[in-house]
């Protein structure tokens, strides 16, 4: 156990590392003095406070400040704010005091960080979605606030081991749902990758450990090969007289897992687990030509894969990322990805938008960042009423692949993949989008719902008489377009309600009555409508007219209340678990038995790690590695309930295994004999497809628990000819 003296040494070392990092980036005496002052205030605010690990709490703001300095590359004001980020929340210091001590800029950042922390500390409906919206609001005010918050979250993820499992799951899911997409969009790729890997570590620990171990072994096996390949590349470039550095980059565990799932391949079949990065030392005028020279030299010796060329030099990504990626066939038949960029491009790729700040934090002239912040403001301004829907749409723009299309004048616009011609119109300008009549793509008329492809030239046709229609919402994917259309339709709805209210008031006066609560309720009952706004809108939009009003008056005069339609109570649609299942799972810290249903998307069985999710139909129980788990836990943490299998319950489950390999005579007989006779397990169904010497099949078995299913899978893997066995889940959700 560490002593107090050891902790003091730990804090002292971290502080010295921070000061050295500031000085190494050109910090002058004033900058260092500012950091020292902020540290003293933070140390005073957090004195005698400990983290769960037992370390003094001041180690946390010190580590956050180090991430802000070294990994993100922000300046002294941001570093000071990182040191002070928990001071207002956790001590008696106020914003006014910080303003007096450090000035308005740092005080403002600390206040913004305190507000963001407050968002995550309190539960509310649609919690994660609302959190995301509020974070975006903070970005639109000062991007540095969210950059520091990402550093704070990264350190929390690095030290998550001391937290209870349910908190690990919530924080990790939230990180994958909110922070990884933001890091991606802001160009912080190394931080995004670490968020994803740590998120996988805590949401699917078994998968993470298995892949991490495989990657480590693969690195050991391939290290010598990669070293030889790197040396051959270096020799080629040295002969050309170029000045450069060569680095190796390993693909993250999360990225490998995603590729395995998306392409339905094994770990061994992921061929781009590594990349060679070539960083050339060229000035702005020569960097592009030098990059293509490097590409030419390499591909003259190693055969490139034409389908794997990614040119982000000619057309950078929307977040400013510039690099040329190609995949070449190396010696011994191995595909290897090569990334070529200049030192400037590498700096900006590592630091993202933060690289645009000079050390003195002069954030002027960053056009790409300014445009993105403007887009965020527009998206928030035009957001839908549903925070969840807003976030889903915004994440599309954050995380999706991008396409590049051109106006007739040759201006290039960046859009998310699957964007339509109507999205393109709104991207040019909101007013153009609102009056879009049609579109021509590459000279041919196309519907507004046409999906734009990279390289398309799009001409937007407009009319002063055109107005957005409700169907347009089905034809757009970008938050800007969806928000603008919704705002227009909402305003149209409001105006229709006002017109309808005036019409009804006039017609009721003619019928010797008046518009009041009583007459409004009678009309709602007569027309079977839910509320006055719906009633007014129906009349204001022309769906209900004077003829319908006369019918109401006639019914009313003939004894309206005697002819009211009967109302029915809503049906109780709560899901009920069968009696033989309800005792197998207990919920919450008190382990109570509640009605539930096993989710059909992942079919949890005894022994699987599980959680409960409360939706409109009751409680559904999912595996923690279910394909919907991160989405549910990340978006709706307040609806997640801790669930565990009751001890001693062994009723049995049906489970489906998929297996494949090289076909041979007698294989089916050996499989059935092994499972039914050798393991004494009941086979519910067996299906095999074979052809051209290979086969794939499924076997449904009745097992007691997860360990028995794993035993079946392992025994099948040992059968000669079978090379893959994996659990199969239903595609229905």
Residue 577 has pLDDT above 80, yes or no: no
Q: Which of 398, 397, 415 is nearest to 406 (CA)?
A: 415
Q: Are 451 and 418 in contact (CB under 8 A)?
A: yes
pLDDT at 570: 33
Q: Which residues contact 166 (CB under 8 A, 6 or more apart)?
A: 642
Mean per-residue pLDDT over the chain, rounded: 79
Question: Virtual CA dihedral for 12, 13, 15, 17, nearest 10 degrees?
Answer: 160
Residue 351's pLDDT band, with cuts at 50, 70 and 90, is low
What's the CATH number of domain 213-356, 3.40.50.720, 3.30.460.10, 3.90.850.10, 3.90.1200.10? 3.30.460.10
Mean pLDDT is highest, among 190-204, 309-323, 529-543, 693-707, for: 190-204
Residue 434 has pLDDT above 70, yes or no: yes
Q: Which of 73, 106, 71, 70 is nearest to 87 (CA)?
A: 106
CA distances from 461 to 236, 338, 412, 421, 464 (A): 52, 43, 18, 11, 11
Q: What are phi and psi of 660, to 5 degrees?
A: -155, 165
Determine the CATH number of domain 4-203.
1.10.3210.10
Residue 75 has pLDDT above 60, yes or no: yes
Residue 127's pLDDT band, with cuts at 50, 70 and 90, is low
pLDDT at 426: 92
How many whole angstroms separate alpha carbon 195 and alpha carbon 720? 40
Residue 4 token pair:
């107090």
pLDDT at 33: 92
Q: What are phi and psi of 657, to 5 degrees?
A: -115, 135
Residue 433's pLDDT band, with cuts at 50, 70 and 90, is very high
Lookup result for tokens 């196309």: 446
State CA 171 to chain mean position distance.
14
Q: Please list the residue range(s) of the chain that carry CATH number 3.30.70.260.
A: 653-728
Residue 419 has pLDDT above 70, yes or no: yes
Q: Are 505 and 450 in contact (CB under 8 A)?
A: no
pLDDT tens, position by position, 174-221: 888 878 888 887 778 889 999 999 999 999 999 999 999 988 888 877
Q: Which residues contact 613 (CB under 8 A, 6 or more apart)?
A: 599, 619, 620, 621, 622, 632, 636, 639, 640, 641
Residue 49 has pLDDT above 50, yes or no: yes
Annotate 88-111 with DSSP letters as a single string: HHHSS--HHHHHHHH-HHHHHHHH
Handedness of CA 511, 513, 516, 519 (dihedral sign): negative
Residue 63's pLDDT band, with cuts at 50, 70 and 90, is very high
Helix (H) or strand (E) holding 406: strand 402-406
pLDDT at 704: 75
Just list the catalytic residues: 89-90
Residue 121 has pLDDT above 90, yes or no: no
618-623 and 597-598 strand pairing = parallel
Residue 549 has pLDDT above 60, yes or no: yes
Q: Which of 66, 59, 58, 63 is nearest to 22 (CA)?
A: 66
Strand-pair partners of 585: 645
Annotate 650-685 with DSSP letters as a single string: ---EEEEEEEEEE--TTHHHHHHIIIIIIS--EEEE
Residue 329 token pair:
């066939």
pLDDT at 372: 58
Residue 34's pLDDT band, with cuts at 50, 70 and 90, is very high
Alpha helix positions (H), 122-176: 127-141, 143-158, 165-174
- Bigger pLDDT: 141 vs 156: 156
pLDDT tens, position by position, 285-344: 889 999 999 999 999 999 998 888 888 888 787 667 889 999 888 887 778 889 999 988
436-441 and 444-446 strand pairing = antiparallel
Residue 716 has pLDDT above 60, yes or no: yes
Residue 375 has pLDDT above 70, yes or no: no
- Cβ burial of 479 (10 Å; 0-12, 13-18, 19+) is buried
Q: Please list the residue range(s) of the chain that carry CATH number 3.30.460.10.
A: 213-356
Q: Which residues contact 620 (CB under 8 A, 6 or more apart)?
A: 575, 596, 597, 598, 599, 612, 613
How many whole angstroms separate alpha carbon 181 and alpha carbon 153? 13
Q: Please list the residue range(s) of the chain that carry CATH number 1.10.3210.10.
A: 4-203
Count of C-beta atoms within a 10 Å radius of residue 234 = 15
Average pLDDT over residues 232-248: 87
The Cα angle at residue 600 between residues 599 and 605, in degrees rounded to 5 = 65
Task: Determine what percent of the chain is predicted with pLDDT higher than 90.
Answer: 14
pLDDT at 415: 84
pLDDT at 567: 29
Q: Are 572 and 565 in contact (CB under 8 A)?
A: no
Residue 354's pLDDT band, with cuts at 50, 70 and 90, is low
The least confident of 57-71, 124-138, 189-203, 433-447 is 124-138
Q: Which of 623, 619, 629 is nearest to 610 (CA)?
A: 623
How many whole angstroms separate alpha carbon 676 and alpha carbon 704? 14
pLDDT tens, position by position, 478-517: 878 888 888 888 888 888 888 888 888 888 888 778 888 8
Average pLDDT over residues 50-58: 83
Fold of the 653-728 domain:
Alpha-Beta Plaits (3.30.70)
Q: Which residues contact 415 (CB under 8 A, 6 or more apart)?
A: 402, 403, 404, 405, 423, 424, 427, 452, 478
Annotate 693-713 with DSSP letters as a single string: TEEEEEEEEEESSHHHHHHHH
For residue 624, what is the DSSP state?
T
- Bigger pLDDT: 394 vs 444: 444
Residue 595: HSE in the Cβ half-sphere, 13 Å Cα cutoff: 9
pLDDT at 358: 41
The least confident of 75-84, 273-282, 307-316, 347-356 is 347-356
Residue 135 token pair:
């974070």
Q: Are 436 and 403 in contact (CB under 8 A)?
A: no
Residue 122's pLDDT band, with cuts at 50, 70 and 90, is very low
pLDDT at 713: 87
pLDDT at 334: 79
- Bigger pLDDT: 174 vs 386: 174
């Amino acid at each position: 156990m560490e002593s107090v003296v050891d902790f003091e040494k730990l804090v002292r070392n971290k502080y010295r590392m921070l000061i050295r990092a500031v000085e190494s980036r050109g910090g002058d005496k004033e900058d260092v003095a500012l950091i020292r002052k902020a540290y003293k205030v933070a140390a005073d605010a957090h004195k005698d406070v400990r983290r769960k690990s037992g370390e003094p709490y001041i180690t946390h703001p010190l580590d956050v400040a180090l991430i802000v300095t070294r990994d993100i590359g922000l300046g002294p004001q941001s570093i000071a704010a990182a040191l002070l980020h928990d001071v207002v929340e956790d001590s008696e210091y106020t914003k006014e005091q910080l303003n007096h001590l450090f000035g308005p800029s740092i005080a403002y950042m600390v206040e913004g960080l305190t507000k963001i922390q407050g968002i995550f500390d309190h539960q509310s409906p649609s919690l994660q979605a609302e959190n995301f919206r509020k974070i975006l609001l903070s970005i639109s005010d000062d991007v540095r606030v969210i950059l520091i918050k990402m550093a704070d979250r990264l350190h929390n993820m690095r030290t998550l081991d001391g937290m209870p499992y349910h908190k690990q799951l919530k924080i990790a899911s939230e990180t994958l749902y909110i922070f990884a997409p933001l890091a991606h969009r802001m160009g912080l790729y190394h931080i995004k990758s670490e968020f994803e890997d740590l998120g996988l570590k805590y949401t699917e620990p078994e998968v993470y450990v298995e892949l991490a171990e495989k990657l480590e072994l693969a690195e050991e096996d391939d290290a010598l090969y990669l070293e030889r390949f790197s040396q051959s590349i270096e020799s080629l470039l040295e002969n050309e007289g170029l000045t450069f550095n060569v680095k190796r980059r390993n693909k993250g565990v999360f990225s490998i897992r995603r590729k395995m799932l998306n392409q339905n391949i094994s770990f061994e079949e992921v061929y781009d687990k590594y990349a060679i990065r070539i960083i050339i030392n060229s000035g702005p005028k020569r960097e592009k030509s030098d990059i293509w020279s490097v590409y030419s030299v390499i591909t003259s010796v190693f055969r490139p894969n034409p389908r794997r060329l990614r040119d982000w030099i000619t057309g950078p990504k929307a977040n400013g990322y510039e690099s040329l990626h190609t995949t070449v066939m190396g010696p011994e038949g191995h595909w290897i990805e090569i990334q070529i960029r200049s030192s400037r491009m590498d700096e900006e790729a590592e630091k993202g938008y933060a690289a645009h700040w000079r050390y003195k934090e002069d954030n002027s002239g960053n056009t790409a960042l300014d445009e993105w912040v403007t887009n965020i403001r527009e998206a928030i301004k035009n957001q839908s009423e549903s925070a969840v829907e807003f976030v889903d749409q915004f994440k599309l723009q954050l995380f999706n692949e991008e396409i590049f299309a051109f106006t007739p004048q040759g201006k290039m616009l960046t859009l998310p993949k699957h964007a339509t011609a109507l999205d393109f119109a709104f991207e040019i300008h909101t007013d153009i989008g609102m009056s879009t009549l049609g579109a021509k793509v590459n000279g041919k008329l196309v519907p507004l719902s046409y999906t734009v492809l990279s390289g398309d030239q799009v001409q937007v046709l407009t009319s002063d008489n055109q107005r957005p229609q409700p169907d347009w919402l089905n034809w757009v994917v970008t938050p800007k377009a969806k928000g603008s259309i919704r705002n227009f339709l909402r305003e149209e709805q409001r105006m229709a309600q006002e017109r309808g209210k005036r019409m009804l008031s006039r017609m009721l006066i003619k019928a010797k009555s008046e518009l009041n609560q009583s007459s409004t309720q009678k009309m709602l009952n007569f027309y079977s409508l839910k509320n006055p706004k719906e009633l007014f809108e129906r009349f204001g939009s022309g769906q209900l007219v004077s003829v319908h009003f006369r019918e109401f008056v006639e019914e009313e005069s003939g004894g309206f209340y005697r002819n009211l339609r009967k109302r029915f109570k809503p049906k109780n649609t709560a899901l009920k678990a069968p009696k033989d299942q309800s005792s197998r799972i207990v919920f919450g810290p008190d382990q109570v038995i509640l009605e539930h249903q096993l989710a059909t998307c992942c079919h949890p069985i005894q022994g699987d790690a599980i959680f409960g999710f409360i939706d409109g139909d009751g409680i559904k129980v999912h595996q923690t590695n279910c394909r919907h788990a991160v989405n549910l836990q990340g978006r709706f943490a307040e609806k997640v309930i801790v669930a565990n299998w009751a001890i001693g319950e062994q009723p049995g489950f049906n489970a489906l295994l998929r297996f494949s390999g090289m076909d041979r005579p007698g294989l089916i007989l050996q499989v059935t004999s092994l499972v039914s006779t050798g393991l004494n397990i009941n086979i519910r169904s067996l299906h095999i497809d074979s052809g051209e010497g290979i086969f794939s099949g499924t076997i449904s078995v009745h097992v007691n628990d997860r360990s028995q299913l794993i035993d079946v899978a392992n025994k099948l893997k040992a059968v000669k000819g079978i090379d893959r066995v994996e659990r199969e889940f239903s595609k229905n959700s």
